[in-house]
Structure 1
């Protein structure tokens, strides 16, 4: 019997009956690989597939399992939801396996039996890592297995409280003839794990590798199947790690968890604002503090700017942690509306601590950092700067200013520059609030 084959893109999962040099969906070159195609059988119809009115669906109370890792529970929306499928991605060596092994140890001690499937390490290697992290509970079961059918059989027999697959790229199913790690194997394995999680009401964590482009391998395949997608971010040479929710059916998609990597493992950081500002230089031009809102958590972040003469025909605009196009827009506002001449200067902007700022509430702080470095003027170190900047130089109101101001109060800041539109709607505060309606007003106030 001749086996029918298809060509699948290893980046996005697009399939073609013949080989193509360039994927028509994602545009990647030389990513089409020949794989065996297995026909699917139609699922039997039953009572479960009948449509019913939404008001007749039986209600269930939401129960969550606490992992005793406060930062992980925060990102998940308050704990682990039974029957959920959670994908954790990140660069190699960032701490994905360390985080999950610590969480599984806590769950084994408090919730019941836990199954940790290790496809990349042997059981003895996993035990060595567990002893270093203090994860050695008797109810934490280690299974060194790559066959999906064997994993499902063990999980069905044990019915653990939580299960971990580390990693999904090493798991293969005998229903397909393609190699482990291919898009068809990843898709089929993730789909069957989803059915297992929903059928047995077991939360399943799966680890996904990250490609050279910074995306989880097979992103369109995995992210559409799972309930929650978490990205583990950070620099291997930096002690801080940020766990960010990209997709979450059971909570906010903007929450972050902050961890510090130590010898005994990952330790949750309860007050990340204080940690990010601990090494801030006082009295240095180009340094400004702003408050970014990540989900329900306000973070005080230092923005550092450096403006210097260029030795190149085209001046450079380099950013770390902020949007490059946003900086170009704000520099244009400074030149047009304030009158600063920045066309022939290199401008470098950095969000200290490895934080990424994606919201427009940091616009005014970015402008003040660039102007402070260019004019060699010091921004008062006990001042927090907030506000969105428009193309005409106006300072627009921001969301939830109360939480940002409360975080500044907690860390001992004395004043806060906020949009005038927010100041009219705020009650009295312990720190001094100054409202500005334009970039010119902020310049006059801070550059005295």
Structure 2
């Protein structure tokens, strides 16, 4: 009898070793190696063949026919925006998020809305029974004649059911619970996830079926499984939020059919997820009018302008080195702006601890937030508040100049719509357009000029 060959594979990055290792030399994680059998290579390789037996072949690009409806819109405009305008036919979408954040709720609501368009939807669950899903569906008021539930984990049976029903949409909840019978490894291992995703990709592309995959996340916040999983799919969405708060953020980190900067905001209620059409009001509703260390910025998230409050707390340090802590902001960006303020605005911040955050749990990473960060730091350092109806937009250079930003008209109009009376923008952004009535637009060229006009 031939000796069984085994290997050890890291469950975090997919690194293969002939022997067990405590620490992975590739990703540096501890105790992530799992023993797996090495299966004999198969002579028959999977090719892209549809359920009707059609094989892919080379063809001229002008001969490629487009679908009549390249995108299918759901009733959730926030979901459509994140996907780039709607669900693309034949796409493979991966949705990740923390346990209990609402991934299954989001997909169940979305499945009911897609089924209402007249197309069949197959919801495959490896974690819940059909009765449990039905209980949640009744609570969410999801009912449709085209909605099929299928509690199954065997990938062969799932493929047969897809071939039999030929639905327009398939939901796999979750990929870590599915099992490929031909792969001799544990459920949820790197090999299983890789092969299952590859088969789902083949089904999606050859039969023009849109497939949504739910992926668990690790403690570090990344989707569990090999990194190749995110490279194989068309779109990667992260469902974020705080379990102690009702608001959820759906963010695209990869999208072959749209922008990767879009985000959708939802509120979790008893009857399910409700869209938040004006998120700026949420981020500003609890702002104190006379508080110091606060500044409002109009940030662009994809094509949407959002007003966010940036808060800063500057206190004298009691340690040898001053601390720099940021939540929702890049810590390195905060350190850079504080260095510019100390050098160009003559503020002594080297002996001050700095704590900054973007209120509401949103993450900001565009250059246009620099001026608001600087103003909030100056406000807290001087213990002097800014005007409640002021907002700030601009990128700060190392020489203290305020550099131009994009989409300035949309930003100013959003601030005016929410009742702001004055907005500070880069001086170079004043050209080529006219400011709307009802809001004063102040152009500033340097950080010193901005500080002088904001606090005088």
Tell me the TM-score normalised to structure 1 length: 0.96
**Structure-2 change in CA distance of 1:44 and 1:383 (3 Å):** closer
Instruction: Say whether the 8 Å CA contact 2:48–2:206 is kept in structure 1.
Output: no
**Structure-2 change in CA distance of 1:52 and 1:105 (3 Å):** closer
Q: Distance in 2 between matches of 1:219 and 1:230?
A: 16
SS at match of 1:261: strand
Instruction: Say whether the 8 Å CA contact 1:245–1:255 is kept in structure 2.
Output: yes
1:264 counterpart residue number: 271
**Structure-2 change in CA distance of 1:59 and 1:436 (3 Å):** same
Residue 30 of structure 2 is aligned to residue 29 of structure 1: yes
SS at match of 1:425: coil
1:399 counterpart residue number: 406
SS at match of 2:441: strand
Stretch deviating more after TM superposition (55-64 or 362-371): 55-64
Shift of 1:45: 10
1:108-127 superposed matches below 5 A: 108-127=115-134
1:42 counterpart residue number: 45
Residue 255 of structure 2 is aligned to residue 254 of structure 1: no
**Structure-2 change in CA distance of 1:443 and 1:145 (3 Å):** same
Instruction: Say whether the 8 Å CA contact 1:111–1:161 is kept in structure 2.
Output: no
Q: 2:211 aligns with which of 193, 197, 204?
A: 204
Instruction: Say whether the 8 Å CA contact 2:48–2:202 is kept in structure 1.
Output: no
Residue 441 of structure 2 is aligned to residue 438 of structure 1: no
SS at match of 1:110: coil
1:90 counterpart residue number: 97
Aligned length: 448
Q: Distance in 2 between matches of 1:312 and 1:144?
A: 57
1:122-201 superposed matches below 5 A: 122-201=129-208
SS at match of 2:200: helix
Shift of 1:49: 6.0
Residue 229 of structure 2 is aligned to residue 222 of structure 1: yes
1:372 counterpart residue number: 379
Q: Distance in 2 between matches of 1:265 and 1:57?
A: 40
1:408-419 superposed matches below 5 A: 408-419=415-426
SS at match of 1:251: coil
Tell me the TM-score normalised to structure 2 length: 0.94
Deviations 1:305-333 (A, max 9, x none): 11122333332211110001111111111
1:46-61 superposed matches below 5 A: 51-60=58-67
Stretch deviating more after TM superposition (249-258 or 108-117): 108-117
Stretch deviating more after TM superposition (53-62 or 208-217): 53-62
Q: Any gaps of 5 or more consecutive residues in structure 1?
A: none
Shift of 1:424: 2.3
Q: 2:346 aligns with which of 321, 333, 339?
A: 339
Deviations 1:231-273 (A, max 9, x none): 0111111111110111111111111111011111111111111
**Structure-2 change in CA distance of 1:375 and 1:294 (3 Å):** same
Instruction: Say whether the 8 Å CA contact 1:65–1:111 is kept in structure 2.
Output: no
Shift of 1:409: 1.3
